C-alpha cells in the first residue's frame, strides 16, 4: 500500500523534495503524492509537476494517515523555521524522511525525522543529523560530524570531518567547512564561504576565510545542538 505524502509549504525546498520523491517512485512506487499545503490562499490550486496546492494547514487533519515533509526556509526566513514548523502542532510520527535514490548514507548514520536529502548527497560514517533539516543536492557531510535540528544546508556544500553545526543554522551553497570546526546555533554562513575557524551563535559570516559581518536580526532559534 502506498504511503500518502503532503509537502509544506509551496516553496523551493518542498519543490526540490518533490523531485526526490518522484525519483524514488520511478525506481519503486512508494509514495502517493497527495499534494502541497500552504497557508497562503493565493497559492491554492497552483501546481508543480502536476501536484496541486490543496489548501492550508487545516488539511493536515483531513489526511490523518499522510506523512509530511515541512521544508520551509531560505536565507531571509531561516531564523523563523523552528517557530513555523513547531506551530503546525504535528506529532513527530507524522513526519517523513526523504532521501533521493542517488544519496549515499553510511550504515551507522543517525537521521532525525523531517529530513530531506536531495540528489547526490554523501553522508559519511558516524554522522548525526537532527530533526527538520534540508540538504540540497551534491552536499557532503564527512565522518563524525553533527548537524543540529532545523538546519538548512545549500547545494555543493562540503562539511569536513568532526564538524559540529548548531541548531537552526543556514549554510549557503558552495560553502566549505574545515574539519573540527564548530558553527554556533542560529548562524548563517554566506554563499561560497570557506570556514576555517569557529563561528559563534547567532551571526552572519561570509567570505574566504569566513568573517563575521553582523548579528542575525532574530535569534529565536539559538538553542544548543540537540544530542542525537
**pLDDT tens track for 118-165:** 999 999 999 999 999 999 999 999 999 999 999 999 999 999 999 999
Determine the pLDDT at residue 1: 83
Q: Which CATH number fits domain 3-94: 3.40.50.20, 3.50.50.60, 3.90.550.10, 3.40.50.720?
A: 3.40.50.20
- CATH 3.40.50.20 in the chain: give the residue spans: 3-94
| Residue-level pLDDT at 218 | 62
CATH number for the domain formed by residue range(s) 98-213: 2.160.10.10
Low-confidence ranges of the chain (pLDDT < 50): 220-228
The ranges of the chain annotated as CATH 2.160.10.10 are 98-213
Tell me if 37 sits within 8 A of 59, measured CB to CB: yes
What confidence score (pLDDT) does residue 75 get?
86
What is the predicted pLDDT for the residue at 114? 98
Q: Which of 175, 98, 174, 183 is nearest to 133 (CA)?
A: 98
Amino acid at each position: 500500500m502506498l504511503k500518502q505524502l503532503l509537502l509544506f509549504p509551496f516553496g523551493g525546498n518542498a519543490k526540490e523534495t518533490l523531485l526526490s520523491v518522484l525519483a524514488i517512485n520511478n525506481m519503486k512506487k512508494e509514495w502517493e503524492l497527495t499534494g502541497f499545503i500552504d497557508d497562503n490562499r493565493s497559492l491554492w490550486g497552483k501546481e508543480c509537476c502536476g501536484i496541486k496546492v490543496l489548501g492550508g494547514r487545516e488539511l493536515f487533519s483531513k489526511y490523518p494517515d499522510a506523512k509530511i515533509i515541512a521544508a520551509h526556509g531560505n536565507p531571509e526566513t531561516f531564523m523563523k523555521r523552528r517557530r513555523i514548523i513547531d506551530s503546525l502542532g504535528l506529532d513527530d510520527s507524522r513526519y517523513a524522511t526523504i532521501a533521493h535514490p542517488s544519496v549515499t548514507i553510511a550504515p551507522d548514520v543517525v537521521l532525525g525525522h523531517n529530513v530531506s536529502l536531495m540528489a547526490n548527497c554523501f553522508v559519511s560514517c558516524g554522522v548525526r543529523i537532527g530533526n527538520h533539516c534540508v540538504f540540497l543536492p551534491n552536499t557532503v557531510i564527512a565522518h563524525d560530524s553533527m548537524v543540529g535540528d532545523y538546519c538548512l544546508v545549500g547545494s555543493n556544500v562540503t562539511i569536513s570531518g568532526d564538524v559540529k553545526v548548531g541548531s537552526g543554522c543556514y549554510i549557503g551553497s558552495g560553502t566549505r567547512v574545515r574539519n573540527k570546526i564548530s558553527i554556533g546555533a542560529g548562524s548563517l554562513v554566506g554563499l561560497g564561504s570557506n570556514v576555517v575557524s569557529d563561528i559563534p551563535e547567532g551571526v552572519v559570516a561570509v567570505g574566504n576565510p569566513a568573517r563575521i559581518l553582523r548579528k542575525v536580526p532574530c535569534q529565536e532559534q539559538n538553542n544548543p545542538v540537540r544530542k542525537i
